[in-house]
Amino acid sequence: MNKKNIFITVIALAIVVIIGILSYWLIVNKAVFQNQNLNIQNNQLKNQPAPTEPIKIGYIGPLTGEAASIGEPGLAGAELAVKEINEAGGVLGRKLELVVEDDQCSNKGVDAMNKLVNVDKVIAITGPDCSASAGPSLPLAQNGGVPVIIRWASAPHLTKIGDYIFRIYPSDAFQGQFAADFIFNKLNKKKIAVLYVKNDWGQGLRDVFVEKFKSLGGEIVFDEGVTQEDKDFRSVISKIKAKKPEAIYLPLYMAGGVVAIKQIKESRLKIPVIGGDAFDADEVIKSDFAEGVMYTVAIVNNPEDFQKRVLEVTGKKSEKITAPMAYDSVKIIAEAIQKAGKIERQAIKEALKTISYKGISSPLIEFDENGDLKSAVFEVKVIKNKKAEKYQ
């Protein structure tokens, strides 16, 4: 090989070596650069403030329709609870936001629940108040993994829908038995007619009542269900009258209940009428035909100072028991979030199982293994001069 070729070969090798060194340098420095960027990004994430957007809680209840008189006070109670929580610093450093849906105490609750669960993506829900709404809508919350605290809906099977369902009001398993015992032992009536609304609430009350009344030795001389939309009961009342009952057990909803009471009086059927807790609504109490009508309802505290606070803050009246129950349910959800330590639905559900809360509606609220209250006390009220008084 001549000197010229040797020189060319050396130059070529030198170029290869230089290219190799440069390539290695670029690869190493690229990795270093990428690591530096990653570290910068991580540090930026660490230094970012915690999320500040509000925690969304759903409210579902009857704001229009035949039960609006119980829905509006409930909303007022919930609004007061949210305001108090936010003014105290919120939950886990974040404010609460109430997302409100009207279920009209009917199966419209399905659309309302679907919006809260799948569109608004709330972290938990307070409500519904009516079993007619709760029955078809709660499976959506259960399947979506959203914790719910039912307020007034009392059909026995509702909490059995799943482990995300809790209830702040006693089950009708208690109420139906209480009504049967009251009519049989206190009113001393042994032959009863039963006229009930065929929805989750009415059917649940009817089933428990009939079983208990028969076990006491009573006789059910008439037993029939009507739809929530029925508004003429004259032919049914004629059948009842022919059976000569000593009293009528009437677990109907508000609108149907008012019509039935009116038509019972027009038929001159002068026997005691006993309704369920749906009669604890202005639509019934303030009607022109409800004088002397009795109904069963759970004892729920609604102190005057609480009602005054609701009025001052929200400008709304809160005479109905739905107000303190809504207030307590929001406070319980907030406490469960705090106890869970994170805004995650399953963790909140698990925290609800261990809640022991001193509330407005009840001095101690704890849930059993089914999500129902561990204890319940009922009373009978009688309507006099368009007011509900405790039965003596």
Q: Which residues contact 330 (CB under 8 A, 6 or more apart)?
A: 57, 77, 78, 81, 82, 85, 96, 98, 126
The candidate with the shortest Cα–Cα distance to 217, out of 249, 184, 193, is: 184
Q: How far apart are the C-alpha atoms of 235 and 237, rounded to whole Å?
A: 5
Residues 205, 2: Cα–Cα separation, whole Å: 112
State the Cα angle at 282 between 276 and 285, rounded to 5°.
Answer: 65
The pairing of beta strand 378-384 with beta strand 387-390: antiparallel
| CA distance readout (Å), 108 to 86, 105, 358 | 31, 8, 33
Cα angle, residue 157 at apex, residues 208 and 55 outer, rounded to 5°:
140
pLDDT in the model for residue 118: 98
Q: Which domains does the chain have, with CATH numbers?
A: 55-167+303-361 (3.40.50.2300), 173-299+379-390 (3.40.50.2300)
pTM of the model: 0.86
Per-residue model confidence as pLDDT tens for the chain (392 residues): 555 555 455 454 545 445 555 454 444 444 443 444 434 344 443 444 457 899 999 999 999 999 999 999 999 999 999 999 999 999 999 999 999 999 999 999 999 999 999 999 999 999 999 999 999 999 999 999 999 999 999 999 999 999 999 999 999 999 999 999 999 999 999 999 999 999 999 999 999 999 999 999 999 999 999 999 999 999 999 999 999 999 999 999 999 999 999 999 999 999 999 999 999 999 999 999 999 999 999 999 999 999 999 999 999 999 999 999 999 999 999 999 999 999 999 999 999 999 999 999 999 999 999 999 998 899 999 999 999 999 98
Nearest Cα residue to 129 out of 174, 168, 163, 83: 168
Give residue 18's pLDDT.
Answer: 53
